[in-house]
Amino acid sequence: MENKMDVAVLGLGGMGGTHVGAAKASPYIRNIYGYEPDPARAALRGRELGINATSDLNSIMNNPEIKLVYIASINEAHAEQTETSMRAGKAVLCEKPMGIDLSDARRMLAVEKATGGFLQIGFELHYSQMYMTVKEWIDEGLIGTPVNTQCRYYCSEFHLKDTWRSKSKGTLIGEKLSHYLDLQRWWINSPVDEVFSMNAPNAVSYFNHPDNHQINLRFKNGAVSSLNFVMYIGETDHADPLLEMLEKQADDGHYLQYHIFGTKGAIETDVFRRRIRRWEFSDSPKQLVSKIVEKISFPKAEDQVWFHNTHGQNLRVAELVAKGLPPETAASDSYETMVAGFAAEKSERERRIVKLSEFQQ
């Protein structure tokens, strides 16, 4: 195949391994390089992943055959590695968040503008069939105008003690919940006007940041959204080999559901029940009538395709770069999601409604 290129993955932890796996599956990728700052870890992960890994970042930046860089490093390195890569002429797919503060996010946008290069942020739910279906139904007008979205996300504590996530300086809003704020922005398709967020005292005492959030957004078109996150009610997973994981979690306190309400209908997504449903509203002499008119289920084998399609995102980005096409999700759009997340953090700290206009330069 023409347009084959070499790629590099910066950060070879769990997500880095996911990026390597997708790169191996791409028909547009020839050689895969990896980077870890510690030489011993670079060598170990290189062997485990079957790639050429190095602790010398300059060797990657100075290699003209490497056209695309996947950044899966710790959050604190995202902005610096994005700038280094783009100034070296590389296209970049960077995991969210866009750094640990707003200055990091702005730095990334500035280098994109200065270089005119390719920059896409890893909001892979845009490539997940469950959430793409919601967007398609909305765009087809099947629920009218979306006016309210509710996300309920309850899980177990799976980050573990003394890990970078439990010790992180940032909150789970940027690291995890930005995915779900981003979906609300995508579906409602209006700028966020103001944010009010709250958190209760922690139940997870060793977390360096809140373990629960109630984030409320008001959009300029009048729509509202809510994201309710708690990370300790779901039963702790002990990987029982006799139980299928999602089937068990569907009734043990785990929830990852959206309800999207429109003027003519509604949509529900439910990860743990592996389904998506659509309601249709109609009028009658007595009342508004609601009826479920469509239901889609998917099998376990298609889980990642339906609700967390990092693999599909990475394959598509490799194709875009190889063909000289622009990003499908602009970094400036992802930046707006990050601003909403930073506004939620500020709202929790200062216990007030935060206007997004406060973040304008």
| 93 or 101, higher pLDDT | 93
Looking at the domain covering 5-121, what would its CATH class be? Answer: alpha beta
Q: In the chain, which ranges are continuous DSSP H helix?
A: 14-25, 39-49, 57-61, 78-87, 102-115, 129-139, 164-167, 172, 178-188, 245-249, 303-307, 310-322, 331-350
* DSSP one-letter string for 96-151: SSSSSSHHHHHHHHHHHHHHT--EEE--GGGG-HHHHHHHHHHHTTTT-SEEEEEE
CA-nearest of 317, 338, 320, 328 to 109 is 338
| 159 or 46, higher pLDDT | 46
Residue 127 is encoded by which pair of tokens? Answer: 């490539």
- The amino acid that residue 277 corresponds to is R
- pLDDT of 248 reads 82
Residue 295 is encoded by which pair of tokens? Answer: 């239901």
- pLDDT of 1 reads 55
Phi, psi of 299 (to 5 degrees): -85, 160
Do 231 and 204 meet the contact criterion of CB atoms below 8 Å apart? Answer: yes
- pLDDT of 250 reads 84
- The amino acid that residue 80 corresponds to is E
- pLDDT of 241 reads 63
Q: Which CATH number fits domain 126-307+339-355: 3.30.1490.20, 3.30.460.90, 3.40.50.12780, 3.30.360.10?
A: 3.30.360.10
Half-sphere exposure of 149 (CA within 13 A, CB side): 31
Angle between helix 14-25 and 310-322 (nearest 10) = 50
DSSP H or E segment with residue 330: none
Q: How far apart are CA 173 and CA 338, in angstroms?
A: 9
Cα separations in angstroms, 313 against 70, 121, 126, 139, 329: 12, 10, 8, 21, 11
Sign of the alpha-carbon torsion through 61, 65, 69, 73: negative
| Ranges of each domain in the chain | 5-121, 126-307+339-355
pTM for the predicted model, two decimal places: 0.93
> Which value, to the nearest 10 degrees, does the dihedral of the CA atoms of residues 57, 59, 60, 66 take?
170
Half-sphere exposure of 19 (CA within 13 A, CB side): 28
What pLDDT, in 10s, does the model give residues 270-313? 999 999 999 999 999 999 999 999 999 999 999 999 999 999 99
Across all residues in the chain, what is the average pLDDT?
95
Residue 32 has pLDDT above 90, yes or no: yes
Give me the sheet containing 119-121, strands edge to edge: 52-54, 29-35, 5-10, 66-71, 91-94, 119-121
- The amino acid that residue 98 corresponds to is M
Residue 243 has pLDDT above 80, yes or no: no
Do β-strands 275-283 and 265-270 pair in parallel, antiparallel, or remain unpaired?
antiparallel
Do 9 and 19 meet the contact criterion of CB atoms below 8 Å apart? Answer: yes
pLDDT above 70 as % of the chain: 98
